[in-house]
Each structure stands twice: as C-alpha cells, then as structure tokens.
Amino acid sequence: MPTTVPATPIRVAVLGFWHVHAGDYARQAVEHPGTELVAVWDDDVERGRDGAERFGVEFTDDLDALLARDDVDAVTITTSTDVHHDVITRAARAGKHVFTEKLLAPTVAECEEIIATCDAAGVRLIVSLPRLYHGYTAAIRREIDEGRLGDVTFARVRLSHDGAIAPWLPERFFDPQTAIGGALTDLGCHPVYLTQLFLGARPDTVDAVYRSVTGRAVEDHAVVTVGYPSQAIGVIEAGFVAGTPFTIDVAGTGGWLAYSDQQGVLTAGGPAYGDQPVTLPVPEDTQDAFGQWVDHIAAGTRADDNLARAVELTRLVVAANQAARVPVAA
C-alpha cells in the first residue's frame, strides 16, 4: 500500500516497555519513512533503559517532562493495560498523537473517555488491531459480502501460542491487576474482533470457560461462545499453553470457508463453489495500523472504523470476563 511521508518526520516516543510488542512498534517508528524514534519512558527504570539502549535513544523516567517536550509529536503506548486511560489521556492533553496496543482500556467507559479526550485535543488515535488488515481477512469478508456463503451461521477463530509453558511470556502478563486478564484479554482480542467482523459487533449472549493449566492467577487458555439474534454462533479460542496453527472457519447456508496460517491458503466449499473444495485468492495485506496512524496524522483525519471496533472489542472482552466469573455448574 502507498505510504504517506510527511514533509517533516513525526517524532515518536515509546511509553512503556511493559508489553511484548513494545519493541515491534519502536522498530516501526525507526523504519517508517515518515517517523523518527526519539525517546523512551517507562515507570520501570531498568526495563525502560534496556529498551532505550536497544534502539539507541534517550531514556527518561519523568513522564510529564517527556510529554512537555516540543521535540515529541506522538507516542506509542505499550504500558500495562491498567494504566492506559491515565497515560493516553495525559499524552492527548499534551497534544501528542497516540498509537496504542490493545485493549484500548479495561472498560468501555474508559475507552469512550480516551477517545473523547483525543478528539477534544485534536490528536490522532489508533489501536493496534493488526489482523483486520490482513489479506485473508479481506478475502473472507469478500465472500461474505458477495453472498456466496448464504446466511452466515457460524464462525470459529483460534489463536494460541506456548508462551506460558515454554516459557517466554513475561510473568507480568499473569498479574490480574496490571494485565486485567489473561489469554482471552490479550491474545484473544484478535479472535474477538475477527468474530465481530464476520458475525457482528454485538452478540446477544456471551458464555465463557477459562482455565489455568499452569496454576497462575489468570486464565492461560479460554473458549468464548457468542450467540446472535440471527441464530449465528461464534466460537472464540485463545491460549498461552499450546502453539497451534491460527485458524478461521466460517460457514453459512450456502457454503463454508477455512483458513490456516500453517498452509497460508483459504479453502471454500459448498454449492457456490462447485462439486469440490477450491482454493481462493488471498490479496496482499493492506496498510497496517501503524502506517494508517501516520496517514491519519499527516491528513488530519480520524480513524473512525478502527476506534469503533476498539470500543466493541473491549465491550465483548468485558462481557466474556464477566461470564467466566459466573460459570454454571454441570
């Protein structure tokens, strides 16, 4: 996709190396032709210094001083989820554009306050929801939108890794106070927003089963089922204890689709596709969330669809966490 290159590079600071994707977004700030990485802040001095040294920029543990700097135009937020509201709204009030890791915030009310604060300050906010912009997602939406599946009745999305047992996932990801939740709240966000894309943002029922194989305080694998007034069912699966392939299955009254990143192909079957299953073309990925953020900053536009989906993502994650706390005994 075409890349917007502002006349003057957007100067970016990383706020927090708490999340494992902090380095990924810092690297994007270095590599994107329209941005420049200039500084790092973290409330954990050792962690922040390590991150700053990795990218050859300065470190500070004074957030107010960093946000007051004229040579910082924008920030990436990769703090713990519990402080997103505080850090993002402080950055927005200081006039800094914001790119943030999901979840946007622990509650829908906080999400809406963050967005309102950014809008009032005239800064551009976008949330990292990367799989919305992948080619297989566009291909599945194409088949649904063009009606080849008929009435869509089912979707299942599974994403898991072995970070809790390998173990390579930092222990802080299992702290219920700072991480807010476990496998569903972090990795499960991707299956959640994809299921919402395929079936609709607002299911009318949400049920969840959370378990902790490793005995930690938050779930390390989870299954959420959602039901819709249309009678469609969605199954959302996430885990930190098994490195299984990422898979998507979507079915309707007229056909079915199956995608796995193990083969990287999208397969379809049913009356609309002939007598035998066929392989469908998958387009290239579209502009990623970071690139879109740069484009919105340069154009002075708002990421309407991204922000709406970020709020609905939080709404469903909150509902799933609540459902898991009140299981029905067999």
* % the chain with pLDDT above 70: 98
What's the pLDDT band for 3 if we cut at 50, 70, 90? low
Span 305-311, average pLDDT: 98
What are the pLDDT digits (tens) for 76-111? 999 999 999 999 999 999 999 999 999 999 999 999
Q: For the chain, which residues make up each domain, given as ranges?
A: 10-128, 135-284+317-325
Q: What is the pLDDT of residue 20?
A: 97
Q: What are phi and psi of 3, to 5 degrees?
A: -110, 130
Q: What pLDDT is attached to residue 1?
A: 45
- Domain 135-284+317-325 in CATH: superfamily? Dihydrodipicolinate Reductase; domain 2 (3.30.360.10)
Considering the chain, what is the average pLDDT of its residues? 96
The whole-number average pLDDT for the span 109-127 is 98
The CATH architecture assigned to 10-128 reads 3-Layer(aba) Sandwich (3.40)
What is the model's pLDDT at position 80? 98
pTM, entire model: 0.96
In this structure, are residues 159 and 289 in contact, taking their beta carbons and an 8 Å threshold? no
Q: Give the pLDDT confidence score for residue 161 in this predicted structure.
A: 98
Edge-first strand order for the sheet with 233-239 is 205-211, 221-227, 233-239, 152-160, 247-252, 255-260, 265-269, 278-280
pLDDT of the residue at 5: 79
pLDDT higher than 60, residue 2: no
Is residue 185 exposed (0-12), middle (13-18) or buried (19+ Cβ within 10 Å)? buried
Residue 15 β-bridge partners: 41, 77
Alpha-carbon span 312 to 187, nearest angstrom: 16
* Per-residue pLDDT tens digits for 22-51: 999 999 999 999 999 999 999 999 999 999
Does residue 167 have a cis bond before it (omega within 30 degrees)?
Answer: yes
pLDDT at 6 > cutoff 90: no
149: its two tokens = 């599946």
Q: CA triplet 195, 99, 118: central angle to 5 degrees?
A: 100
What is the structure's pLDDT at 275? 87
Distance (Å) of CA 309 to CA 59, 189, 303, 316: 33, 11, 10, 11
pLDDT digits (tens, 9 = 90+) for 152-191: 999 999 999 999 999 999 999 999 999 999 999 999 999 9
Mean local confidence (pLDDT), 263-288: 95
| pLDDT bucket at 242, cuts 50 / 70 / 90 | very high
pLDDT the model gives residue 294: 98
